[in-house]
Amino acid sequence: QVQLVESGGGFVQAGGSLRLSCTASGQSFSRSLMGWFRQAPGKEREFVAAISRVGISTDYADSVKGRFTISRDNAKNTVYLQMNSLKPEDTAVYYCAARGGVVFSADPTQYNDWGQGTQVTVSS
């Protein structure tokens, strides 16, 4: 099991950037595939990005490709989400999540451990 804590959310104008961090405690971070999801008010939780155990492979939702970058530092037990060219429609609570295995999944039910979320608000 992995305990996850997100940070780095905030308020930014459209076109701006934010970097989210998610720090894990527990023994299994380096064995976990990590993902970022987001949930806007009144909407379902949606996949944003995922990264493989050693950080070689990544996957992105079409809506964020070319703007967001996921990365990880296993020595620091941390996964990051660099968000550039932010749009008002990126406004949401952002969650990091962990799952075992090696296959990417955009289905939130496939992830076992979740952080508490961090709010990102983008103004127009």
What are the pLDDT digits (tens) for 25-78?
Answer: 977 898 999 999 999 999 999 999 999 999 999 999 999 999 999 999 999 999
Is the CB of residue 88 less than 8 Å from the CB of residue 14?
Answer: yes
pLDDT above 70 covers a percentage of the chain that reads 100
pLDDT at 57: 96
Section 5-31 average pLDDT? 95
| pLDDT band of 10, cuts 50, 70, 90 | very high
Residue 20: DSSP 8-state? E
Q: pLDDT at position 19, please?
A: 98
Report how far Cα 4 is from the mean position of its chain's Cα atoms: 11
Tokens of 85: 């060219």
Confidence of residue 2 (pLDDT cuts 50, 70, 90): confident
CA distance 40 to 57: 27
* Per-chain mean pLDDT for the chain: 96
Which residue in the block uniquely carries the two structure tokens 């939780």? 45
> Where are any strands of DSSP class E within 26-86?
33-39, 46-51, 58-60, 68-73, 78-83
pLDDT for 36 equals: 98
In whole angstroms, give the CA distance from residue 14 to residue 121: 9
Say what the pLDDT of residue 65 is.
Answer: 98
pLDDT of residue 75: 94
| Closest by Cα among 39, 21, 38, 5 to 82 | 21
In this prediction, residue 97 carries a pLDDT of 97
Pair of tokens at residue 39: 């949930």
Q: What residues are paired with 103 via a beta bridge? A: none
pLDDT attached to residue 120:
98
